[in-house]
Amino acid sequence: MIPKFKYHPDPLGTEMFRQGEIKTCCCCGRQTDIWYDGPFYGDCDVRVPDDDEWPYERMDFVCPDCIADGSAAEKFQCVFQADELVGERPADPAARDEWLHRTPGYYCWQEPYWYTHCGDYCAFLGSVGWKEIEEMGLADEIADTFDEKINGSFTFAREYTHRHGHVQCFLFRCRHCGTHFITVDPD
């Protein structure tokens, strides 16, 4: 069982956590069969005294608990977000701290934008193409919230995006009003 992440509610579904073989968490040292496979930003090395062969501890195989409680970000002096936003930065510094230090990030080809809405960070729902948007019944809503200044042509997004494809979308949902947004990510 993994902890709840309010800004990234399904990190197994978005494939930012892997599971299977047993790994040792580089932060807490516990054995885990679920580990982080997403991005992090910063130096992410910790000096280990009395180690002549390799004097640094690398940030590999971080367990979900060490991300959720902030210990990985603290130990490795890193953040899990690139701090690129679409929308206004939320006023609550605690929300920004949770988003940067205790929320799994996501990989993309371009800058990893993260939507904000209703004064808070949105929930990241994962990679989608236009087919999935239509299957979820979100086509009209996405047409209304689509921002061509950020994403380019709406027609291009509708015709050429595929989940995990060379051109994909990332889906976000406002945690307060439920509005959905996408960013388009071409390789």
What digits encode the pLDDT tens for the residues 109-162? 888 899 999 999 999 999 999 999 999 999 999 999 999 999 999 999 999 999
Average of per-residue pLDDT across 44-56:
48
What pLDDT, on a 0 to 100 scale, did the predictor assign at position 185?
93
What pLDDT, on a 0 to 100 scale, did the predictor assign at position 15?
93
What pLDDT, on a 0 to 100 scale, did the predictor assign at position 83?
84
CA atoms within 13 A on the CB side of 95: 16
Rg of the chain taking only CA atoms, in angstroms: 18
The Cα 114–Cα 64 span in angstroms is: 20
Helix/strand/coil for 172? strand
Average of per-residue pLDDT across 49-66:
66
What pLDDT, on a 0 to 100 scale, did the predictor assign at position 47?
45
Tokens of 168: 């994909």
**At residue 140, what are phi and psi to the nearest 5 degrees?**
-65, -40
To the nearest whole number, what is the mean pLDDT of the chain?
Answer: 90
What pLDDT, on a 0 to 100 scale, did the predictor assign at position 175?
97
Helix/strand/coil for 152? coil
**At residue 106, what are phi and psi to the nearest 5 degrees?**
-145, 150
Say whether pLDDT at 56 is over 50: no
The Cα 90–Cα 102 span in angstroms is: 16
133-to-28, 31, 45, 111, 142 alpha-carbon distances in Å: 39, 38, 39, 22, 8
Q: Which range, of 48-52, 71-75, 155-159, averages the lowest pLDDT?
A: 48-52
The string of DSSP letters for 60-127 reads -S--HHHHHTSHHHHHHTEESS---EESPPPS-HHHHHHHHHSS-----SS---EEEETTEEPEEEEE
Local confidence band at 49 (pLDDT 50, 70, 90 cut-offs) = very low
Cβ-based neighbours of 89, under 8 Å, separated by 6 or more: 96, 116
Local confidence band at 58 (pLDDT 50, 70, 90 cut-offs) = low
